[in-house]
Structure 1
Amino acid sequence: MQRAQRNSLRLLQWMMAASLALPIGLFAVAAAISYTSTNDTADREIERTVDVAHEHALKVFETIDRSLAELNEVVRGLPDDVIRDREPTLHRRLKRLSDSLPQLKSAWIFDANGKALVNSLVSPPPDLSFADRDYFYAHVDQSIGTFIGTALTPRPPYQGARFFGVSRRRESEDGRFIGVIQASVLPEYFESFYARIGTDPGSFFAMGRTDGAMLAHFPRLDHELRLDPTGPVGQKIATRPEHGLITVAWPSDGIERRIAYRRVAEYPIYVSAGLETSAIRARWLATIGQHLVFGIPATALLFLLLALALRRTQHLQAEAAKRREAEEALKHSQRLEALGQLTGGVAHDFNNLLTVIRASVDLLNRPQLTEERRQRYITAIADSVARAAKLTSQLLAFARRQTLKPEVFDVGARVQSLHDMLATLLGPAIEIVMQLPAEPCLVNADASQFETALINMATNARDAMRGQGRVVFRVEATTTVPDALVQLSASPGMADHGFVRVTVSDTGVGIPAARLGRIFEPFFTTKPVGHGTGLGLSQVFGFARQSGGEVTVASEVGHGSTFSLYLPRVPPDLLPQRQAPNTAPAVAGSGMSVLIVEDNIELANFAADGLTQLGYSITLVDNATDALAELVVDADRFDVVFSDVVMPGMTGLDLAQAIRERGIGVPVVLTTGYSQVLSQEGTGGCDLVQKPYSIEELSRVLHRAARIRRVRDGAAE
């Protein structure tokens, strides 16, 4: 019994000692965890804040840069006398620019002597020279792109707040310096923005140049500040020049701060944001103070609260982890759904085509086949290949990755020429009305893709009317464009002659508002399975966007739909070029020598055999490097080079460029089924044969390229 009592007393003593030691230990651990957590939280807040300041500065400077570029285009090639004559008009334009951008104080155009030709403040500008301003003399000796100057005080008679200049060089056509275009930017615009986002105690913001000159500062200072690049702050930034997080005593006031900095893209500007370390410690002490208030009178309660707080934190983190896993699972599911929809639609159509081809090949292998049946099976194979090529073309058009073949044609005449085809397509129960303009409406686009787009819109109208109703095709020139084309039509040199609008209106069932946002998606269709691929309207969308235009739809359930296709209009003095028919026969080679460059051996043999039968002399290589070596050794033995575009190592475009650089006069004909480089940059002046191609088509293109070379060489002699 006594032993049990002693044990009980000893246990009580241990509990008493523990009641003192445990709260102290817990408080020390909690203080350390809280200190680390407070600093980590502050670092995250600082980095988020500097991200906001960086995005703000980047958008501001990019906006100013674009405005200066536009002003430069306005006065490009204009002598100073002409600019002075247009000074009132240009003054109003500059004033509208400065009024529309709150960060701008003014905008200027200077001549080569530093005198203002135009500014946004007064008209006409006083006869003063600003050649001593950094934003001017920085451009005199060489072209340095966009220059951002130091903070300056307005020169009398101009007054107002301090500013810093953002300027660009004006050059003549031969590269001589002829002046400067400059925008005066208000530092207080940035400081006001920093004041709005820097509401926490001890907040700090600065924006300065890479040479240490400060442009904006929050809190604001009464004196000009310059950061020494060789000082402590500059040395730390130099170790990580793009972005970083440092703790420094700022030179302006000696206050220690935790600062994040980031360079603004390619501009020589840094933005920084931070908090005073004393403010961060104050946050931590405030947290610890709360622990002390409850810890001293009731250590047991503090322990319980800490345990509950830890459990709550673990629970919240676990919930957050589950939420992230759910979000990732949802994104993955959406990606798989989109991929499944795309591959499923493509696989369905291609499997149908491959079935026809496979069946036709099997039937062709049967003995004692009649000529009529053999021709029928060959025709079925050819038709299936053509449909497969059209399906690929539609997919590339929707993705805006197809290499289009633009030509100038009259939209009204082209629509009129399709009248009979449309009548057959729509059927006798549908009335066709065509409202075509009297004057030519010329566009520069792929005529074949345009016809396909018109047929797709007509087919959509027919299905919406269930084969009976009225379709109106209308062609007109317009300057009223949808919002997506407003910026394009306002850009200098783009859509200067407006747009041509082609509308297809039907009296069908209409489209519900909930589906309007999806009708241009690939493989989205409201038709039953087997009655449509869902690629028709997506082809219209891709063709319009890739041609620099737009397609819109207006519809109301029960009142039909109107699709409007917009294409940039070209000057009326350009006449459409007649194209050679694709059904022309093959051209005999007559000994013409062709260098074929193709890494696909089956396709290379196909082209070589077909051309050999037509009388061409063929040399076959499987890469561009070997082809270039053949040309360097003896280029005169080849009349033309026929090269694939997409090959390992040197591409077909690279080969064509290397041939031109070496002065080899052999023409180059390219071929590809798809190339993103061609869709973005063009063919580089080379003829192009789209895959899949026929031997007849290939022979015509090769013969034409070789003939052009002979004519050119004969003229040179």
Structure 2
Amino acid sequence: MRRSLTLLATSGLLPIVALGAIFGVITLRDQRVAVEERAQTDARFAAALVESRLDDTMHAVQMIAQSPALDGALDAARFRVVAGRIVAHQPTWRTISIATPEGMRLVDMPLPLGGRQGGPVEEPESLRRAVATGRPTIGIAALRVQGPAFAVRAPVIREGRIRYVVSAVIASGEMARLLRFQPLPDGWRAALIDQAGHEVASAGSPPAADRGPRPIETWVRVPSSGWSVRISTPAQLLSRPIRNAVLLLVLATLACALLFVVLARLLVGEMRLYQHQEAAALQSQRMEALGRLTGGVAHDFNNLLTPIMGGLDLLRRRVIDDPKALHYVDSALASAERAKTLLGRLLAFSRRQTLSPEPVDLAALIRGLSDLIARSLTPSIALDIQVRDWLPPVLVDPAQLELAIVNLAINARDAMPAGGAIRITAEPAGEEDIAGLPPGDYLRVTVSDTGTGMDEATLKQAIDPFFTTKPVEKGTGLGLSMVHGFAAQSGGALRLVSAPGQGTAASIVLPRSAAAAVATTPRAGAPAEPPRLPPGRILLVDDDPRVRRATAEILSEHNQQVVEVASVDEAMAALAGGARFDAVITDFVMPGRSGADLIQAARGLHPDLPVLLVTGYVSALDELPEDVIHIAKPFRGHELMDALARVRR
């Protein structure tokens, strides 16, 4: 079961985890592509704006370099006027500077660089490039004039020679407006980076702290300046969908796990129910097979025991004056009776005993047994009988029910060697008692004790034939088996409830009778002497020669003329031949045709001819008319003559 549940969990949860992982990978890839495309687009657009602005600035500085004010010798006063006008119309220009090609500043207008007029050019590298290339250049963001600034330089070329270099110092913050061409998403940051890696301007969120995942950066170069636009996107943009996917996966897994737990509990319940049903079916098949085996063995032993008991009865009549021989015969008959009782229990277990069910008053029957049960108990055991007078009758063989109750009482006594209490009750059966039985009303007779009880393993084998916890000399292991078979054959069941140290309760569940109870007289023992019959001619039919011979001897001993035949066909020939018979005694199971066939044919030929059926099979009675008198094997001589007397009345 554990392996099946593990396989179920793996097969159920593994696809979910796999699909969740695939979903996460696809989501991460799509999110990364979307972020990269957006950042690339924004960076390119910003780079185009920066390049356009720088190109315009370089053109403007180049136009200043073409100014006539710079022809010939430098007219500083005139240049200051021109520069003042230009700066007034260019609010982002901090100052305009004139320097020599060698890097010495001549004029700074309106603000001096470095806080004073004259002196070497700050950030000379861009000046050298302008002189070397003869073209406008853009410096790095290394200047400070009322804040961070950078220089745009253009050479002043006259007559093929560079006479001066004009520089426009631009505030770096001016470029930040270009990076804010449209609102950036939350967490995004745009920066303009010069050739030296300095940050010229920025827009958007502040720089990310050192801790945490590094942002994702997209770079686009500004061709004319060597600068670059960098777009930084937070790593959380990628991790957030992953977190969402993982959260969704976890929730889905938890939901599936919860569903799995529910399904597992249902599956475990179903598997346990199936196992219990399978075990019950196997037990039923085993008990059925065992019942057929014991029933067949008991039937064969009945055939063996019948001539033994018949012979002993005949021998007893002949040694009546020899006390010693009579003692031997009585001992043998007692052993035969014990064997008969044992075979009866085997037949009861296999549900093949002969029953005579009738409506029985449970209260009267149990009260009638109270003295017998009390005498069977030791003084240290208390007997408590509680039955209700208004209980409806049950349909059962009263003699077999008495035997079953006495057996249960003796079992209870044996379970309490140190003393205790036995309680016998009769009451309507509960729902748990009639589970598995046909619909209808049932009553329950319960014999409970305060004895040692049985553990679960013992309880499972309690009704198995020959299983017993008693010593070999104290029990055969057929008591509960007999009660179980009797209850099942009567249309009910035997229910056992027990636990170690808590005693045992054995309940016989029996169907209620629709008819009123018949008043019964206490059953006396079998008469010592058989009834005297007038001489008669008997047709005896049995395929077993030993049984047939012993039965014929008993009949002959009582002045009956016997005609023996071994089959139904021989019996039919004798009946059809015109011979007169006072009665027919026939076995049931014989080769070819059965005793039922003989009874039907005999009644067709001689409707008034008495017929006595001798059989060891209870199933035989289902095939016979209800008025057929029968006797079970093995039988004593007086039992045979009693039955013959009844059929000849």
Q: What is the TM-score of this pair, normalised by structure 2?
A: 0.49
Look at both structures and tell me which one has the larger radius of gyration over its CA atoms: 2
Higher relative contact order (CA 8 A, sep 6+): 2
Q: TM-score, normalised by structure 1?
A: 0.45
